[in-house]
Structures are given as structure tokens and as C-alpha cells.
Structure 1
Amino acid sequence: MYKVLLVDDEMFVRKGLLNLIDWEALGYEICGEADNGEEALALMDECQPDLVVTDIRMPVLDGLGLIAAVVNQRQWNPAFIIVSGYHDFKYAQQALRYGVNDYILKPIDEEELTATLRKLASVLGMRKLATLAGGSHVTASIMEALLHGSCQERDISQYAAAIGLPQESRFVYVLAELHPAVPDQAPEWSAKDVVCALQPLADRSDSRIPMYEQSPGMYGVLLDLRRLAAEQGDLSAMSVYQSLRWALSKVKDAAVTLYVGQTVNRLQDVKESYQSANEALSYEFAEDGRDIILIDDVRGTPLYYFDMAQELYASLLEQLEENDEKAYTASIDKLFAVFREQRFAPNAVTNAITRCVIGVINIIRKMDGDENELQSLPAMLDWQSRHVRLEGLRQLMTAFAAEAAGLILRLRGEQAKGGIEKIRKYIEANYRENLNLKSIASIFYMNPVYLGQLFRKTYGVYFNDFLLGLRVKEAKQLLRQTDLRMYEIAEKVGFANADYFVTQFEKLEHMTPTDYRNKLRGRTGKP
């Protein structure tokens, strides 16, 4: 992703830019916003943007002043796009003098800005190209022509001389994927790390090795196999790949996978090697466990592009809801075994993982929970950018499942507590009716035995004792405040039989209802 800094003194313009363009789909991410040029300069070190989109007329320091400051200080080298409401030739002329990439008038046309960003992405990508001979940069236009096959045959000799490679040899484009040491962390690699790792190989063979950062953690290198293999005294290409992988793995002491394109004999055919290396990348999970994947070995072998089995998906979610750790761990292991055995393509793996994550999120939301409580969720949503192997992804998935199962269990407890509170309030409001555990369980769609256990666990008293306590409490009030007969009081507090009422009252109060009333009147004995 290329980092973008938005600079405009009008907040609604910045927010409009944020929402107008699907930045991520175009390969960009917004790294910061500034109200004016001075604020933007203060953010440059922190953000280190690849692109600055700025207005011209702003307070404190305007857009042209910002561009001039960046150009003159030479600490940063971002591309610039000016977005202005002023169609002033002098501004445009000055902007072009500073090397601004484009000048777009407000109101912003979405298609125009999108086209500009797509075109600029190619330029920004070429800026990341480097060569290892004395640290000089490979000319962007040359590498772009080679990788995209737009170079003319008459210009090849000049291109070859410029990048220090022969016109004809055994060339191969190799993608190096650098895996994190810990699955839930993004790879901490930089282009400088890769350059340092490749330097000894370049020095020993007196060869330049152009390097291209395709994405964070994914680097492409253009190798002259003939020269590199001859230097090692081994003419096999595999020895070169093994040396390359070993050198890269030592930088951060982490795993590296190489995806090797087809070998070409002419520099102008490098596009074919570049495309086939990216084709080899589509076998990263099907060939999981291999450190070096050659397109010549895997091309034509089948890949699975469909969804995971519905039965496995449904079972996994059910086991998570039941908090059956042994079962859901086994299901996850089975899912990843299927990925390997059926040779899932990257898109198919992505779809399966996304489906499971969304399923878990839906369960949590239905229980009135917040999935953002899951600390493992960001890693699961962003696992592709972490460049994990299948085993690392399995570890992420298992950790996510365990945390999700714990959250679901907690939410169920909270729901149960909320539900039992409703039941208690219902009993308190309706104890005068003919209530029993079975009838209440039926009203609230619960198992009577489970309801009884839950009630006692929550309130420390059996359901029948709680109900009796409410009825006797009400009966005592009626005995104190009215002259109602015993059978009338019994009916009012929920007893169908007056004798049973007397028995239950005496059980709780250790005296009959009549004795209780007489005691209040200062008399003893029966009336």
C-alpha cells in the first residue's frame, strides 16, 4: 500500500476525498490529514507518505510553499497531486516547475482522480526499484518497460547497459515472500533489509540484482542465473535459489518462500518471467511446506477454487457455541488438512476463512455482544498482509476460535442472568396465580429442570421456597390489615386450598395464620 497524506484547510473537502475514492482498491492507504502546509511538514517524518494530495490556497503555509519546502529539504521524496478550485495558469506553471504529478480542479471528478491514481501507482512502484551496485537506483522507466513488456527491441542494448546486465543470458524473476516469526505480527522487513541480504551475492558475482517491492513483505528480484551460478561453481539454478533464500532468511532469522518464474534468454522477455513468478504465487497453499516453488514444477497442476464444505462450516460454528474446545480444534485441523489435500487456491482459502470469521461475528452480534472485544480479530481480518503460511494461519484461527468461544460463553451467561431476572419479576408480579416451575418454564421456553437449577444457582433459594415466601409475606400483610377469613386470604395469595395454606404458613412462620393474627391483637390461643 502506498501511503497518502491529505492536506486541505477545509475538513469537508478532506472527508470528501476519503469517501470519494476506494483508496485501498487502488493500492493506497490514508496515513494522515493536515489543515495546512505547516502541519503537513510536521507530519512528514511520522507518516513518510508516498503521495501528498494538497490544496494550494491555505493559511500559514500554502500548497506551493509546502511543495517547495519538501523539494528544497530533500529529506523526503513523495509524489504530489494538487487539487485546487483556482484555474490559474501561474499556479499550474509553478506546480509543474516543482515536478507535481497532476493538477486537478475542484469539484473533483471521481473518474479523473481514479485514473490519475492508477497511473501514479505504477510510477510509485518503480521508485521502489533498486539495484545493488553502489546503491544506485534503477531507472524507473527501464524497469517498467522490462516488467510490462513495453520496451522496443532497438532500445534493449541501452537498457541493458543502464542496469548493468547483458542483453542475453539466463534471466529469471523470483518473488520472495518473507514470513513473520510470530503469526499475529506483520513482517518487519524493509527494502533496505533485502538490499543488505543480497549485497554479498551481487558482490561475489560482480552482477547487479534489481529488486522490486511488490507489497510489504513481498519482493521481486531479477537474477542473471548464468553469472550467479558460475560464481558458485554450480551451474544448477536451484543452487542459486537456495543461496538467495538462505541469505534472505538470515536477515530477520525468519522463514522465506521463493516463487520462481520461468527462465528466459533475452532481457526483453523478462515480462514472461515476471508474470509466471506471480502465477507460481497462486500455489502458495497448495504447495505449503515447500520453500522454493518453481512455476515449471506446478504449472498445470490442479487448484481448488470453490467454497469449503457446508457441513464442516456448520459443525465448527456449533462447536464454538458449545465451547467444545476439543471438537472445534479438531474441526479447524480438518479444515486446514482439506486446504492441503484438495489444493485450495489463495482465493478459496480467503473465502473459507472469511466465511468462518463472519459466522462468528454474526453469532456474537445476535447475542448483543461486540466482536471488537476479540483481541485476535484484527489479525484474522488482516492475515493476508501478514504473509503467514498455512500453519501460521491455523494458529491464528485456533487462537481466534478459543477467544470467540470464551466470549460467546460469557455472553450466554449474561443472557441467562438477564433472562432469570425477567422470570423473577414475572413470579413477583403473578405469584397470586396458580404458578409452578413447569408452567413458568413453558412460558419462557425453558427446560423445567434447568430453570430450577439456574434459579437456585442465581438466587441461592429453591423456586418453590421463593414462591412460598412471596405468598406468605402477602398473607401476613392481609392478616395485619384486613379481617378477611382464612380461605379468602388463601385464595388471594395463590392457594387453592385453605388447609394447605395453613400448613405452608406454619412451616415458614412456625405458627398458624390465626395465631399470627391473635398475636397482633394481644391474644393467645384460638379464636
Structure 2
Amino acid sequence: MHKVLIVDDEIFVRKGLVNLIDWSSLQFEICGEAENGAQALTLIQHLLPDLVIVDIRMPVLDGLELIRQVNEAGSHQPIFIILSGYPDFSYAQQAFRYKVSDYILKPVDEQEMVATLRRIATTLNQKQLLSMTREKPLVEIIIDSLVQAEPDEQVMTQIAHTLELPLTSPYTYVIAEIQDKLPHREMDYMQPLQHVLQRFFHLEGQSLLIHVRAYNQYGFIVPPSWQAERFGSARMGYAKLLQGLENHLSTEVALFVGRKVDQLKKIVHSRASADECLKYRFAAGFDGIFMAAELLELPLYYYDVDEELHSKLLYEVEANHKEGFSDAIDAIFMAFEERYFTPGAVANTVRRSMIATINIIRQLEGNEEELAWLTDLLNWQTKYRNLDQLRVVFMNFIEEAAEYIAKQRGEKSKGNIEKVKKYIDGHFRENIYLKGIAAEFHMNPVYLGQLFRKHYGMYFNEYLLTLRIEEAKRLLRQTKKRMYEIAELVGFQNADYFATQFEKLENMTPSDYRNKMIDPS
């Protein structure tokens, strides 16, 4: 990892920059912060950062003067990026005289900053590669450099010479993901993983190009001497490797295999295709081996699960029907697999169901934090990396939530559908609606609507309309009130709409009905 020092007199700018970027994925880590140039000068001497991101205008010592003094000192020369709220050409001109790497205007654009950091990481990697000795190859630096961008010829020659690898030969980048249900880096698998891979690829005394990625992942380059096809097919070869890894590491593992390239310098393209395979991690039928050659033409699904499935799940949760919500969960997870949901689409579906369930609990004046499985489901992406693992925690959360909701509703004794009907019977002349009644009785409106139909054979709106039209018929028979008065008395805000709904239900207008009652002949 390359060390970064952030220098700005505004704390919110510093913290905003820290949180804006996924630093570790770009091979950087924040080693310190400073609020002025003088403080930064001291930290540069002690922390030896590889990169300094500095504001141009600061008290005590400004950004340009800081860079000048560091350049003159000569002992440690980090790369500088200047941040400025001033698009002043003279500032930029002076900055580039000091060999500043980049001049970025505030507010910082995330994409621009990420592109700059990628370029600087490649530069830093290449500097380290060129300073390597034959006695101690920096394998982590080598692979980090190779998988970020195609190195130039000088660097590529140095890599091949140091590792005694052919420049032109088949190479493949593979991601091994440890699915141990533990957060990233809680357990270090580097040594046992190296041991298995060295033995499997017959690399005794040779270098294995492997590095640590985020999310419990390790990336490695398959040596050119190994031919997976000798096992019958590439998939069978990787299946044999997967079996060896799981047996030795005593945990589930998934392999994401990039496309094969014909030169070592092109391994960046194999890495990119292996990263694309990660999007298919929840697809069915691949048995822990996800190969770019098989997957990348298959269409991915980026959206939420169907509304019908989502509504069914919530209904069964509110009803506390275990068989019902188990079936709904099975259908949702089958959709994940068969339609190739992306990890983002799966996360959105889980999040949506969880939020809807929590809202039901809150409507009942419950506290979702009393659910033992809530934290696990909230943080599932940091621990659970395949659908079987996710299904277990999701099912446990839903089952616990359904029981909690049933208990909460029983304690409040306001979920009785007969009481809801009596409320409607007594208030139908008012401007009532399903969502408002659901809130009154601490129920989810979707669940209430479905429950009402189940018990009374019609939707809430149909029942409400029936009550209003029956009352209107009584008023038409027994009074001489005008149509707009009757409409208002039975809960309609608009006389024309009342007339339309009356005719729809009775096959005649309100006036025709009144006339018929007066003169039945």
C-alpha cells in the first residue's frame, strides 16, 4: 500500500476526501492529516508518505511553499497533488514548475480523483519495480503493477528478468475468494493459500504472483507452465484446484477466472475480466467456479425483484405464515440465481425487504433492534459471500421478525380485522383511505388490503364504495337533497365522480334511481 498525507486547513474537506474514495482498492492508505503546511512538513519527515494531497491556500505555510521546501530538502520526495478552489493560471503554472503531479479544482470530482490516483499508483509501482534487487523480489508490488495497467517495456523486461518468466506465454488472472463468514482480513489466509498453490502448480523454488485484495479475496496469476485442459477441460482443472483449496483451508472458496491472455504485460485484461465475473457470483449452476470464458456473454439483471414477490413476502410476514414466507423467499432466491441478479440488485432486494419489515415493526411501536438477526443482515455483504449463506441469515431475520410482529400486534390487540370493518362502517361518510386506516390500526396497508379481501371477498375500495352507494340510495329515496349534497354526505368530494360511480354500480344514474323510486311504473 502507498501512504497518503492529506493537508487542508478545513477539517470537513479533509474528512470528505477520506470518505470520498475507496483508498485501499486503489493501493493507497491514509497515513496522516495536517491542517497547514508547517504541520505537514514535520509529518512528511516522520511518516515518509508516497503521496501528499495539499490545499494551495493555507495559514502559516501555504501549499506551494510546502512543496518548494520539500523539493529543496531533497531527503524524501513524495508525489504532490494540489487542490485549489481557484482556477488561476498563475497558480497552476507555478505548481507544474515544482513538478506537481496534478492540479485538481474543488469541489473534488470523484471520477477525476480516482483516475489520477490510478495513474499515480502505477507510477509508484513502477518506481519500486525498477529499484528491486535480485535477492528480494517484491512480489506484491509486481502483481499490483501488472494488474493496474500495462507496464512500459523497461519495467516489463525487469519483471520478466527478475522472476525468470517468459514475456510471451499464456497467463490467467484468478481471484480466490474465501467464504468463511468472517469480515475481511479477520483471518490471514496468505501463507496457507501460497502453500496450496505452490504445490498445485508445481512451483517449488519459483515465485508465485499473488496479492491481497479487498473483501477476503486474493488474486494470483496462473503460471504459464500449468495447463488446466490436461484435466479434461479448463473447468475440470479449476475444479480440482478448488477442491484442494477447500480441503486445505477448511472453508468454502470461490474462484473467479479471467480470460487467458498471450503475454504477461496483458494480464491487466485478464484481471478486468475476472473482476467482471464477480458480478455473476449469485448465478446458478457454476459450482463455485466462475469463468469469464463462460459467463461474460450472459445478460445480467440489475433491477429489483418483482413487486408481486415482494408484496407476497410482506403479506406472509405480517400474517406470520412460516410456510408462506418460506415459499416467497425460495421464489426470490430462485429469481436471483436463474435471472443472474448482480450483487447490487440482490443487495437492493434484501435492503428493500428489510426496510419494509422494519417499517411494519415501527408502525406497531416496536423496536427492530430487539431482533437478534438484524445486525447480521445489515452487514451481510461484509461476511456472507454466496447465496446459501445469505439465504440462512435472511430466513432467520424474516422468521424472527414475523414472530415479533405477531407478538407486538397481539399485545396491542388492534390488528383484528373485524375492528377494522367496524371502523369503516362507522366512518365511511368521511374522507377515509386504506393507508390512513392501516396507520390507525398499526398495520401495513398492503397487508391490510389483502387481509380485508381474504376475509370479506372484496377489496377495501369496493367495500367502501358499496357502503357509500347504499347510503346514497337511502338518501335519494327518503330525502329531497340535491345530488351534490348527497355526494358530500356519503364521502364523495366531487358530484360528477359520485354520479359516475353510482351508475357503474347500479346501471343507472342517481336521478334515474330517484325517479324510479317515485314512480316504479
Short-chain TM bin? 0.5 to 0.7
Q: 2:14 matched to 1:17? A: yes
Counterpart secondary structure, 2:347: helix
Matched, 1:151 2:151: yes
Cα separation, 1, equivalents of 2:2 and 2:426: 60
Number of the residue aligned with 1:467: none
Q: Distance in 1 between matches of 2:80 and 2:298?
A: 45
Q: 1:271 to 1:357 in 2, by over 3 A?
A: same
Corresponding residue of 2:22: 27
Question: Which secondary structure state, in structure 1, belongs to the residue aligned with residue 117 of structure 2?
Answer: helix
SS at match of 2:271: helix
Residues in 1 aligned to 2:423 and 2:146: alpha-carbon distance in whole angstroms:
80
Provide the rounded CA distance (Å) in 2 between the counterparts of 1:78 and 1:371: 45
Contact 1:171–1:223 (CA under 8 A) maintained in structure 2: yes
Larger Rg, first or second structure (1 or 2): 1
- Cα distance change of structure 1 residues 63 and 249 upon mapping to structure 2, 3 Å threshold: farther
- Measured after TM superposition, the shift of residue 251 of structure 1 is 5.7
Q: Which residue of 2 aligns with 1:160?
A: 160
2:334 paired with 1:355: no
Check if 1:341 corresponds to 2:316.
no
| Residue 65 in structure 1 maps to residue 42 in structure 2 | yes
Answer whether contact 1:241 1:292 (CA < 8 A) is retained: yes
2:30 is matched with which residue? 51
Q: Per the alignment, in what secondary structure is the counterpart of residue 203 of structure 2?
A: helix
Distance 1:305 1:116, change over 3 A: closer
Q: How far apart are 1:179 and its partner, in Å? A: 0.6
Pairwise CA distance, 1:22? 8.0
Query: Aligned partners of 2:2 and 2:361: how far apart in 1?
Result: 34
Q: Aligned with 1:220: secondary structure?
A: strand
Measured after TM superposition, the shift of residue 27 of structure 1 is 1.3
Q: Give the direction of change, closer, same or farther, for the CA distance of 1:326–1:413 in structure 2 (3 Å limit).
A: same
AA paired with 2:19? W
Asked if 1:256 is matched to 2:253, the reply is yes
Query: Percent identity among equivalent residues?
Result: 27
Distance 1:124 1:406, change over 3 A: farther
1:17-166 paired onto structure 2 within 5 Å: 17-18=14-15, 20-21=16-17, 23=19, 26-28=21-23, 50-55=29-34, 57=36, 62-71=39-48, 80-83=52-55, 85=58, 86-87=61-62, 89=64, 91-95=66-70, 97=74, 98-102=76-80, 104=82, 109-111=106-108, 115-116=112-113, 118-120=115-117, 136-138=137-139, 140=141, 143=143, 146-152=146-152, 156-166=156-166
Contact 2:7–2:34 under 8 Å retained in 1: yes
Aligned to 2:373: 376
Pairwise mapping of residues 362-441 of structure 1 onto structure 2 (< 5 A)?
A: 362-413=359-410, 415-416=412-413
Q: Distance in 2 between matches of 1:266 and 1:392?
A: 38
Secondary structure of 1:320's counterpart equals helix
Q: Distance in 2 between matches of 1:62 and 1:123?
A: 24
Runs of 5+ in structure 1 lacking a partner? Answer: 30-48, 72-76, 424-437, 447-527
Structure 1 residues 251, 94: closer, same or farther in 2, change over 3 A? farther
C-alpha offsets along residues 32-54 of structure 1, whole Å, 9 cap, x if unaligned? xxxxxxxxxxxxxxxxx921341
- What amino acid sits opposite 1:300 in the alignment? E
Deviation readout 1:118-162 (Å, 9 max, x if unpaired): 5336666987x999x98742474x656643553346764344224
- Preserved contact between residue 5 and residue 32 of structure 2 (Cα < 8 Å): yes
- Stretches of structure 2 that go unaligned for 5 or more consecutive residues are 86-104, 428-435, 439-521
CA distance in structure 1 between the aligned counterparts of 2:405 and 2:119, rounded to whole angstroms? 46
Measure how far apart 1:221 and its partner are: 1.1
Name the SS for the 2:207 alignment partner. Answer: coil
Aligned-pair CA distance for 1:23: 2.5
Aligned partners of 2:345 and 2:296: how far apart in 1? 18
Instruction: Give the aligned partner of residue 271 of structure 2.
Output: 274
Aligned-pair distance for 1:391?
Answer: 0.7
The Cα of 1:364 is off from its aligned counterpart by 3.0
1:292 aligns with 2:267: no
SS in 2 for 1:110: coil
Contact 1:21 1:114 in 2 (8 A): no
How far 1:63 moved relative to its partner? 3.5
Q: Which amino acid aligns with 1:188?
A: E
5 Å matches for 1:484-523? none
1:305-324 matched pairs, under 5 angstroms = 305-324=302-321
Task: Please state whether the residue corresponding to 1:111 is helix, strand or coil.
Answer: coil
In the alignment of these two chains, the number of paired residues is: 393
State how 1:165-176 maps to structure 2 within 5 Å: 165-176=165-176
Which position in structure 1 is the counterpart of 2:226?
Answer: 228
Equivalent residue, structure 1, for 2:458: none
Letter in 2 for 1:92: I
CA drift of 1:265 comes to 1.9
Contact 1:280 1:299 in 2 (8 A): yes
What is the deviation of 1:220?
1.7
Pair 1:363–1:201, CA change in 2 (3 A): same
Task: Look up the match of 2:100.
Answer: none
